[in-house]
Amino acid sequence: MTKLIVSLIFCSSIFTAAKAAVPDSGDFTVQATDLMVQGSGFHTMDQGRIGVAPDQRHHAAIESVVPAGNGRFDIYLHTVGEPSGQSYFTLKIADRLVGQFTVPVAVETTQVGDRFVAHFRSVEINEGERFTLRAENDTLDGERFSRALWDKLRFVPLDKDPGKESVSYQTIRTQQEIEAGPQLQLPRMDDGNGEVTISGELKQWHPVTLNLSGPFAHEMDLTPNPFLDYRMSVTFSHESGVPSYTVPGYFAADGNAAESSAQSGTLWRAHLSPDKAGRWFYRVSFVRGENAAIEPSVGDYVVPYQGQSGIFVVEPTDKQGRDFRAKGRLEYVGARYLRHAGSGEYFIKAGTDAPETLLAYEDFDNSLGMKPNLPLKTWQPHAKDAKADDLRWQGDKGKNLLGALNYLADKGLNALSFLTYNAAGDGDNVWPYVERNGKLHFDVSKLDQWNMVFTHAQQRGLFLHFKLQENESDDHRHGAAKKPRIIPEALDAGKLGIERKLYLRELVARFGHHLALNWNLGEENTQSYQEQRDMAAYLKELDPYDHLIVIHSFPSQQESVYLQLLGAQSVLTGASLQNHWRSAHRQTLRWVDASEAAGKPWVVANDEQNPAGAGVPPDPGYQGFDGWVKEGDSQYNLHDIRKMTLWGNLMAGGAGVEYYFGYRLPENDLLAEDFRSRDRSWDYAATAIGFFQRHQIPLQRMRNLDARAAVNHPDKIAWAMGAENEMYLVYLPQGGQATLDLSVDSGTFQVQWFDPRNGGVLRQSNVKRVSGGERVSLGKPPENADEDWLILLSR
């Protein structure tokens, strides 16, 4: 059953999932160079195009009479991609918004083709009406700007294509229109009787759910708003007195919304992932009042829900292997690595940063793609990876995405990343709300389905990287240049207000019980220092489990962003780095050392690899790709990523990597649906983290010791980390013969070699043992002397 949302028309054209071929006849065409550009901000360029001269201005607007009328038309705007940055176009007819289009960044100097053509579907036009086309340019590096080039605007009458399927619309309302609706949705039902039930497998580390039969509500009710005007929280306490958690609750409609697509009901929930076996006590707090969910001093207790209490018994976990329920919650313990609370194991990650639009999936209720070149995902390439016992909803829905997660887990990876809100962003196809612009009403069934995916990920040993927002809609500052721009989609314009607080509370309430995750304040975040601190502090206050909190920044702004957030003045506990693939080691070490010096060591991961257009390339041979990325006068491939990014982060004391796919190669950051495109890179990543696990490397005691290692060639490098008088690792990205200063050590170390390309057992070479007290030679590699090798010195 699919949820149907009915609302007023705001925008006459919504992009659907399928991409239509651009017609080439039967249309009315406006050639850009035929328009009067004087005073518009546009300039005539070559090849029949007009654009913005970036040395003079960064926006332009032009208008003219529509060359057709009295009917419905598909409109095609032909733009030109440029490598210097994106461009943004907004089309209006008679002051009615038709739609917006973001021009993808191109590989060549200029590039045209279907992906650079905006398709606005089924637009009603009256004879004599005028159109206005506004353009704005942007930059990737802060120096070179795009020119917002375009050459024609075409109007294709729908009656010229009798075989065209009718277009279905989900209409878009503004938040003001939504909040002006009826106070209560009809029909109504009786309120619940306050009964509490406990569900789930009552075992240590397994999700335990408290279900309360509470007041009837509908997700679109305004007064009271079930998300904003009720504050449910549950205190769970172990019989020993420790731990005790106060967990935020949430409105769950009929309690089966993933299956039923319900929008209303009397079920309210809270989740616990219990640390200990034994008896647990619970007590419910239930308050109603204006904005009570985000104002702790507001509201009155609601009877019979307030004060409900009881006991349940938790047994030891019965899980093993990859399943996080076998190891326990990942905790920040004041060190560079997260640690499992159950097993005591330290965690390093290897997984995928792409696609950031992972949740833009057609099987989720009420999902919508706003851009013509970004259809909703089917995840069809991973249908073959689905398993019969995977969690699914509404029949076979979810199968393909769960198959994709199975593939990642089966490859030995342990992390994935996704945006939970990207309205007005690069994808503009993921939000947790019933309606895109309705930031006070959450889509109960969609979020229930998200949770099924997250639950499956945790059972398969996949860490959840929640990216809470992206640059395009985190505040009223746009791009790396932080240009002032009013962005209605930005929650509270970047500040910590009603929208942002409610958003964070709902995510923590629904998903905070999962064992392995981090909250990322935002991708390429440009909020002010105070806004970042406020958001992080509110997250920490909400989250009873103290999950890792990190932030991601533009590479050029890391110094200004991260330095202010080090130490005790903020609650941040990690950094999500974006850097050039070659600089991962240096930048990881920079923030590992800086955070430690500030008195609060950060968990530092490399989560995005530049150049932005390419990132981690596909395997050689995938869709005809030759494996090489050209970068100026040089080039790189997946082996360089393995050496300089993967091992670069790990040998600097980093917490691991997530791989970004760029935007111009096959299966890129926005369009990817086939993780097999990077199959070999996954193998290398799994080999790396497998080494640390299999050989029980004492990560918590290891530190970077590059200064003590050397290699026998000026063009080669050696990285080292170790725990003195216990263990050392030396990594040689280009092979060679290394030496290591053991002056502070005593006794004898065994010397063994590990192959990062193929894995396997540890090997020996011509030097089998070395003694402390001096700089020692570690010998030569067992074979392939110019390939990368890892040397292990152990007792």
CATH architecture of 329-699: Alpha-Beta Barrel (3.20)
Beta strand segments in 345-446, E: 346-347, 349-352, 415-419
Supply the DSSP symbol for 121. E
Instruction: Select from 449, 509, 400 the least CA-distant residue to 260.
Output: 449
Q: Where are the alpha helices (DSSP H) in 346-491?
A: 399-410, 444-459
Q: Is the pLDDT of residue 282 over 60?
A: yes
Three-class SS of residue 770?
A: strand
Residue 23 is predicted with a pLDDT of: 44
Instruction: Select from 314, 302, 266, 305 the least CA-distant residue to 284.
Output: 305
Least confident stretch, 130-139, 214-223, 426-435, 757-766: 130-139
Least confident stretch, 20-24, 74-78, 220-224: 20-24
Name the class of domain 705-794: mainly beta
- The larger pLDDT score, comparing residue 573 to residue 633, is at 573
Contacts for 163 with CB less than 8 Å, ≥ 6 apart? none
> How far apart are the C-alpha atoms of 701 and 612, rounded to whole Å?
35
Tens digit of each residue's pLDDT (9 = 90 or more) over 30-47: 999 989 888 899 999 989
Residue 166 is predicted with a pLDDT of: 28
Binned at pLDDT 50, 70 and 90, residue 196 comes out as: very high
Q: Tokens at residue 445, please?
A: 């069934």
Q: Is the pLDDT of residue 621 over 70?
A: yes
Binned at pLDDT 50, 70 and 90, residue 373 comes out as: confident
Q: What is the mean pLDDT of residues 603-619?
A: 97
> How far apart are the C-alpha atoms of 118 and 36, rounded to whole Å?
22
Please name the fold of domain 196-314. Immunoglobulin-like (2.60.40)
Q: Tokens at residue 562, please?
A: 């991260």
> How far apart are the C-alpha atoms of 709 and 705, rounded to whole Å?
7
Q: Report how far apart, in Å, the C-alpha atoms of 151 and of each of 28, 65, 156 are.
A: 14, 17, 16
Q: Is the pLDDT of residue 5 over 80?
A: no
Residue 3 is predicted with a pLDDT of: 55
Residue 163 is predicted with a pLDDT of: 29
Number of helices (H), then strands (E), belonging to the chain: the values are 11, 43
Crossing angle for the helix pair 558-565 and 584-597, to the nearest 10 degrees: 30
Q: Report how far apart, in Å, the C-alpha atoms of 259 and of each of 5, 43, 197, 441 are.
A: 17, 55, 20, 20
Instruction: Select from 256, 247, 272, 266 the least CA-distant residue to 195.
Output: 266
Distance of CA 154 to the CA centre of its chain: 36
Instruction: Select from 379, 268, 400 the least CA-distant residue to 672.
Output: 379
* DSSP β-ladder status, 349-352 and 656-659: parallel
Q: Is the pLDDT of residue 737 over 80?
A: yes
Instruction: Select from 24, 26, 125 the least CA-distant residue to 68.
Output: 125
Residue 398 is predicted with a pLDDT of: 98
Ramachandran bin of 672, using left for φ above 0, alpha for ψ from -120 to 50, beta for the remaining angles: beta
> How far apart are the C-alpha atoms of 557 and 480, rounded to whole Å?
8
Query: Tokens 């406020």 correspond to what residue?
Result: 534
CATH architecture of 28-160: Sandwich (2.60)
Binned at pLDDT 50, 70 and 90, residue 569 comes out as: confident
Residue 159 is predicted with a pLDDT of: 58
Tens digit of each residue's pLDDT (9 = 90 or more) over 135-145: 999 888 888 89
Least confident stretch, 163-167, 196-200, 311-315, 583-587: 163-167
Same fold, 196-314 and 329-699: no
> How far apart are the C-alpha atoms of 439 and 423, rounded to whole Å?
11
Q: Is the pLDDT of residue 630 over 50?
A: yes
- The larger pLDDT score, comparing residue 56 to residue 191, is at 191
The DSSP element (H or E) to which 688 belongs, if any, is helix 679-694
Tens digit of each residue's pLDDT (9 = 90 or more) over 87-133: 999 999 998 888 889 898 887 788 998 889 999 888 889 888 899 99
Q: Tokens at residue 655, please?
A: 């917490």
Sequence spans of domains, the chain: 28-160, 196-314, 329-699, 705-794
CB contact at 8 A, 458 and 516? yes
Binned at pLDDT 50, 70 and 90, residue 185 comes out as: very high
Q: Is the pLDDT of residue 170 over 50?
A: no
Residue 7 is predicted with a pLDDT of: 35
Tens digit of each residue's pLDDT (9 = 90 or more) over 655-693: 999 999 999 899 999 999 999 999 999 999 999 999 999
Residue 570 is predicted with a pLDDT of: 87
Tens digit of each residue's pLDDT (9 = 90 or more) over 487-510: 999 999 999 999 999 999 999 999
Tens digit of each residue's pLDDT (9 = 90 or more) over 414-437: 999 999 999 999 999 999 999 999
Q: Report how far apart, in Å, the C-alpha atoms of 419 and of each of 416, 463, 533, 549, 572 are.
A: 11, 14, 20, 15, 19
Residue 4 is predicted with a pLDDT of: 43
Residue 72 is predicted with a pLDDT of: 85
Residue 142 is predicted with a pLDDT of: 80
Across-strand partners of 150? 50, 79
Instruction: Select from 587, 634, 633 the least CA-distant residue to 609.
Output: 587
Binned at pLDDT 50, 70 and 90, residue 71 comes out as: confident
Binned at pLDDT 50, 70 and 90, residue 403 comes out as: very high
Q: Where are the alpha helices (DSSP H) in 171-314?
A: 175-179, 257-260
Q: Is the pLDDT of residue 13 over 50?
A: no
Instruction: Starting at the earlier edge strand, list the strands of the sheet with 748-754.
Output: 703-704, 719-723, 727-732, 789-794, 748-754, 769-771
Query: Tokens 């990650």 correspond to what residue?
Result: 349
CB contact at 8 A, 278 and 314? yes
The amino acid present at 198, given as its one-letter code, is I
Q: Is 777 exposed, middle or buried (0-12, 13-18, 19+ CB in 10 A)?
A: middle
Contacts for 722 with CB less than 8 Å, ≥ 6 apart? 702, 703, 705, 728, 729, 793
The DSSP element (H or E) to which 285 belongs, if any, is strand 278-288
- How many C-beta atoms surround the C-beta of residue 527 within 10 A? 26
Instruction: Select from 186, 93, 51, 106 the least CA-distant residue to 665.
Output: 106
Q: What is the mean pLDDT of residues 730-735?
A: 98
Q: Report how far apart, in Å, the C-alpha atoms of 315 and of each of 206, 208, 209, 276 are.
A: 10, 12, 15, 8
CB contact at 8 A, 513 and 451? no
* Number of residues in the chain: 795
Three-class SS of residue 531?
A: helix
